[in-house]
Amino acid sequence: MHISEFQELIERTYFERDSARGLGGTYMWFSEEVGELATALRRNDKDAMEEEIADVFAWLCTLASLAGVRMEDAVRKYADGCPGCRRIPCDCSDKE
């Protein structure tokens, strides 16, 4: 699936409700999913990791839509390599 298709799917599914809730409340939902992802990773629960990664991505797309950002445009900063050193693989010396 294209990144833009996924954002559009999430918009069709959730935008009206997320928009009515507003950015702050929607960020809290996103944040909750980030916490659930941490739990899944900590437990090394593969099914839960897959579920929570999808949920975090879905809420990130919603936040992007509320902010007027197209995910497809946003990711272009990585298209030519690391935005810091412009290399693939990244060669930034300060990246711990």
* Residues at the contact surface with a second copy, assessed by CB under 8 A: 1-3, 6, 9-10, 12-17, 21, 23, 25, 27, 31, 34, 37-38, 41, 46, 49-51, 53-54, 56-58, 60, 63-64, 67-69, 71-79, 81-82, 87-90, 95-96
Say which residues have a Cβ less than 8 Å from residue 1's Cβ, sequence separation at least 6.
Answer: 9
| CA–CA distance, 79 with 56 (Å, rounded to integer) | 22
The distance of closest approach from Cβ of residue 1 to a second copy in the complex, given in angstroms and rounded to an integer, is 6
Say which residues have a Cβ less than 8 Å from residue 12's Cβ, sequence separation at least 6.
Answer: none
The distance of closest approach from Cβ of residue 13 to a second copy in the complex, given in angstroms and rounded to an integer, is 5
